[in-house]
Amino acid sequence: MSHPTPTEITLANLAGGALMECASAELRRICVNILDPNVKAEAKRKLTIEILMEPDETRQQIRITYSLKAGIPGPDSGKTIAILAMDPNSQTVALYEAYTPQSLFPDPEPLPNVTDLPAKRA
């Protein structure tokens, strides 16, 4: 019975290439996060790869586990105002968003019996 020819372990071929595939997916997730306009552009992102190697007592076999973790910031915080109401008959609860930007200087009501003059031509 012949044994397979040993090959050097690299990050590219570890677990049949699964580690590199996972790293590429997490790297893509970080890039998508960088492009997200709801996340602070200057925030740092981090990709952590942990490889744990547990040899047996004969030192002939090694159990290898790996994990990847992308450290990405979440969306910027925001706020709004809502009104909570309950119908006393049906006990239905409703939440209405009340945030609507208000102008500091609302449009004045037109005065009765006043005719606007045309703008002066230059």
* Amino acid of residue 77: S
Supply angle C-alpha 91, 97, 101, rounded to 5: 155
Residue 116 confidence (pLDDT): 67
CB atoms within 10 A of CB 45: 15
Tell if the pTM clears 0.85, that is, is over it: no
Find all residues with CB under 8 Å of 24, minimum gap 6, and list them: none
Cα gap 50→33, rounded to integer Å: 22
Series of mean pLDDT values for 10-residue runs along the chain (122 residues): 81 92 94 92 94 94 94 83 81 74 66 69 63
Q: Write down the pLDDT at residue 102.
A: 61
Question: So what's the pLDDT on residue 99?
Answer: 62
Question: Hunting for tokens 């590199």 — which residue is that?
Answer: 20
Half-sphere exposure of 103 (CA within 13 A, CB side): 4
Closest by CA position to 100, among listed 76, 81, 85 = 81
> Could you give the CA distance from residue 108 to residue 113 in angstroms, rounded to a whole number?
15
Q: Please report, for the chain, the start and end positions of each structural domain, with discontinuous segments joined by +.
A: 14-71
Instruction: Give bridge partners of residue 10 from the DSSP assignment.
Output: none
Give residue 78's pLDDT.
76
